[in-house]
Structure 1
Amino acid sequence: MTATFDQAAGAAHQEIRTFHPRRSPLSRAQREALTHLWPGLGFSIHNPANGTPPSHPDGTLDTTALFGRRAPVVLEIGSGMGEATVAMAAADPDRDYLAVDVHIPGIATLLQRVDTAGVGNVRVAHGDAMTLVREHVAPSSLDAVHVFFPDPWPKARHHKRRLVQERHVRVLTDRLRPGGTLHCATDWDEYAEQMLTVLTAPGSGLTNPHQGYAPRPPHRPVTKFEQRGLDLGHTVRDVVVHRA
Structure 2
Amino acid sequence: MPEPRTFRDEPVSFVRRSGRMSEAQERAFEELAPIYLLDVPRDVAHTSVHPQARLDPASAYGRTAPLIVEVGSGQGHAIVSAASARPADDFLAVEVFRAGLARTMLDADRAGVRNLRLVEANAPEVLSTFLPEAAASEVWIFFPDPWHKKRHTKRRLVRPGFPATAARALADGGMLRLATDWEDYAVQMREVLDDSAEFERAFDGDWAERFDGRVMTAFERKGIAKGRDIRDLTYRKVSSA
Give me the TM-score of the superposition, normalised by structure 1.
Answer: 0.87
Q: Secondary structure at the match of 1:179?
A: strand
Identity of aligned residues (%): 35
Distance 1:91 1:98 in 2: 15
Task: Please state how far the C-alpha of 1:171 moved relative to its aligned partner.
Answer: 1.1
- Name 1:152's counterpart in structure 2: 146
Give the one of 100, 108, 126 matched to 1:114: 108
User: Where in structure 2 are the equivalents of 1:6-85 lying within 5 Å?
Assistant: 12-45=7-40, 47=42, 59-85=53-79
User: Where in structure 2 are the equivalents of 1:155-170 lying within 5 Å?
Assistant: 155-170=149-164
Distance 1:60 1:77 in 2: 17
Task: Please state how far the C-alpha of 1:44 moved relative to its aligned partner.
Answer: 4.4
Task: Please state how far the C-alpha of 1:47 moved relative to its aligned partner.
Answer: 4.3
Task: Please state how far the C-alpha of 1:141 moved relative to its aligned partner.
Answer: 1.5
Structure 1, unpaired ranges of 5+: 1-11
Q: Secondary structure at the match of 1:194?
A: helix
Does the CA-based 8 Å contact 1:44-1:127 persist in structure 2?
no
- The alignment status of 1:98 with 2:78, answered yes or no, reads no
- Name 2:199's counterpart in structure 1: 206
Distance 1:84 1:167, change over 3 A: same
Q: Secondary structure at the match of 1:151?
A: coil
Does the CA-based 8 Å contact 1:164-1:198 persist in structure 2?
yes
Distance 1:214 1:112 in 2: 32
Task: Please state how far the C-alpha of 1:13 moved relative to its aligned partner.
Answer: 2.9
Read off the aligned partner of 2:12 and give its amino acid letter.
R
Does the CA-based 8 Å contact 1:46-1:127 persist in structure 2?
no
Distance 1:35 1:160 in 2: 36
User: Where in structure 2 are the equivalents of 1:226-237 lying within 5 Å?
Assistant: 226-237=220-231
Distance 2:35 2:9 in 1: 29
Task: Please state how far the C-alpha of 1:127 moved relative to its aligned partner.
Answer: 1.6
Distance 2:155 2:128 in 1: 16
Does the CA-based 8 Å contact 1:73-1:143 persist in structure 2?
yes
Distance 1:179 1:40 in 2: 31
Distance 2:41 2:159 in 1: 23
Structure 2, unpaired ranges of 5+: 1-6
Task: Please state how far the C-alpha of 1:113 moved relative to its aligned partner.
Answer: 0.5
Read off the aligned partner of 1:229 and give its amino acid letter.
G
Quote the RMSD (CA, aligned, Å). Answer: 1.9
Distance 1:125 1:237 in 2: 27
Task: Please state how far the C-alpha of 1:104 moved relative to its aligned partner.
Answer: 0.5
Does the CA-based 8 Å contact 1:45-1:128 persist in structure 2?
no
Runs of 4+ that moved beyond 2 A: 12-15, 43-48
Q: Secondary structure at the match of 2:38?
A: strand
Task: Please state how far the C-alpha of 1:174 moved relative to its aligned partner.
Answer: 2.1
Distance 1:14 1:44 in 2: 23
Read off the aligned partner of 1:113 and give its amino acid letter.
D
Distance 2:19 2:53 in 1: 33
Read off the aligned partner of 1:149 and give its amino acid letter.
F
Read off the aligned partner of 1:234 and give its amino acid letter.
R
- The alignment status of 1:88 with 2:82, answered yes or no, reads yes
